[in-house]
Structure 1
């Protein structure tokens, strides 16, 4: 139970940090990188089952920071990234990581993208090794040290 409590506290802390930056996180690069990150975390094990897709879409729709953008636009972008990853995970991951890397020009946006990945990954109470690994790869694409996020 202690592990679950630590994970919940960590994701709540990440969400609070994101909320404090909400007004700064309005660029197209952030939007695209955030949706790419959500898709990457959802597909971290190489596939996305319908319930996982639905749960991630619901989390995207309810995330206050992502409400800076039209919900239908976010959903369309998320679905496009998921399609790339499910068609060919290895090739799709390269493309998705490139889009995530576009947010590295603004450090606050890059950090926010990683935080969104952690929030999405930990939302079910289990931030598993596959999810941690793809968020770690995203850190490298963004020029961030994964240790900064306990990855």
Structure 2
């Protein structure tokens, strides 16, 4: 009986050593998870967050050169959390998605829902129902496909806003 116990401890030690070796190998390669292949989050932090907005009643309003509404306020707060300035572009959804693909904007906001038709061309946040000022409306936001660190940072921020 004691011999079997030693064998099991030996097997556990081997697995632990292999797991540690794998972790060290990944760390040596400077692998970051989640990753941004184009470095969107790093570029935006302390820089400029380029946001595209599709005007949507009750979410994003445009009056002359001014934007307002709950999505506008939320994105301005997110930008401030990254110590970034915000540059806004107003356009239709298709134009905004093309701008995401071209790298002209970092985030697209508007009346996008979880059933958005743009999932195959952009990364989509989780659906949010409880964001301030949304009156229970479901919304998602779009970021360039593959920019997972930016997406993760935006979702973490929105998670915090949803619980307020």
- Measured against the shorter chain, the TM-score band is 0.3 to 0.5
| Greater length-normalized contact order (CA 8 Å, ≥ 6 residues apart) | 1
TM-score by length of 2: 0.32
TM-score by length of 1: 0.34
Structure with the higher strand share, 1 or 2: 2
Structure with the higher helix share, 1 or 2: 1
Flag the structure with larger Rg: 2
